[in-house]
Structure 1
Amino acid sequence: MSVGSEAWHAARAAAAAARVEIAEFSGPSVPIVQDIVDQVWGPGQAPHPSLLLALAHAGNPLLVATRDGRPAGLALGFLGWSGGFHVHSHMTAVTGGERSGGVGYALKLWQRAVCLRAGIDEVRWTYDPLIARNAHFNLVKLGAEVVAFRPDFYGAMDDTVNAGDRSDRFEVSWRLRSERVLEAVAGRRRPLDHAAGSLDIPVDYEQLRRTAPDEAAATRLRVREALERAWSAGLGVDWSQGRYVFVDREAAR
């Protein structure tokens, strides 16, 4: 089976397991996108409808997941070429009632299949390194690789998720044809050898941020300093057994 065929097989299986239908964005999808973004990030955070329509018209991968006609999730990306031709996946969101139900995984695998169909072999995105579930999802379940640490990447943010916090981010690369990704999609995990150290983060940083903002701010600074030291020392970052591990950068690929 070719990689492209494998990608579609995996994407359709994931969508069926999550009991969602996934479609590429079109004009009637605008209210669905706005509804999902409002639920996840708060009112006023959705891209303008004209921008969504223009991005879709240009062929960018904008995906919407529904279940029985109800909004379930979205994945919005656009082409990029800094550091090589790729898709930058800017927004991936799942409505509150659908989280942990496989919707996000199905959307990402569908995104992979769509990109491979278009001849694109890499997808990149950013995520908050303090969100443990996203670390596991991105680095283990999907097989993405950390390629950069970007302190305060977005500056001050005013959405309901990030308001009042620093926007430190990992940038990850999802090399869609790589052995690492093929193994991850197949449910296999390569062992990590020769770790040079590890970094613990809170199990639920979002809860800490809500209930103990001063402690959360101190945690943010501690993790930022540790990541900057590791990156300056030429180490890469991976995720294993609920914590970050520092490894040789080539070993993390």
Structure 2
Amino acid sequence: MTTTATERTTGETVLDCAGLDAGYGGAVVCRGLDLRVRAGEVVALIGANGAGKSTTMLTVAGELAPLAGTVSVLGSDAGTSLAARARRGLSYVTEERSVIMGLTAAENLKLAAVPADAACAIFPELRPLLGRQAGLLSGGEQQMLTLARALARNPRLLLADELSLGLAPQIVARLLAVVRAAADERGVGVLLVEQHVRQVLQVADRVYVMRRGRVIVEGTAAEIAADLDTVRRAYLSGVADDETPT
């Protein structure tokens, strides 16, 4: 029997944001955000380009200091750096694939102190590619390498910003399935920014919908799936038709 999102049990809170204002140089981009992720839970953050999703992720990761409110990551209050949060158990996959193109896949893993066997256990597809330069891998293979490297560190919290950027739907489905498995099998808490709304709703437990720097709707994936008109309105507020969710 397949386990549904509502049947999954989750553990301790690994991310808790309360009244968070985030932005750059004192300019507020996101206002009053209340976000929570528990261990073993996949939480999606969706919205149109410019809604403030990546700014939120950078602040949660420790790359940006909160302008107001509080952020607690893995039991640590805001103010710690990304490096400090990584040592506590955070992995962050940015929207730009962070591979060194001139190194082989194996060398990229070695540089990150990740055993190749651990990465290939997550994505067996990487095994025959270990000796190939990362710059010669397809976009999907590069993203598998990036995600495998992040998950092979056994994080307690994974932040993933636009895993699907520029990738075919079948590759997106493969990446999201691995994220779901990390939550289910290893108890990783996941905050996931994603544009492929319908696909992410199939793997997420809960969803926050952002528009113009604020969360306008939150609920379970089933609740959001039943009210896609609200999601479409959020995407259509000030964006072009070709940016509507897929």
Do Structure 1 and Structure 2 share a fold, with TM-score over 0.5? no
Normalised by the size of structure 2, how large is the TM-score? 0.32
> What TM-score results when the alignment is normalised by the length of structure 1?
0.31
- Return the structure number with greater relative CO, CA threshold 8 A, min gap 6: 2
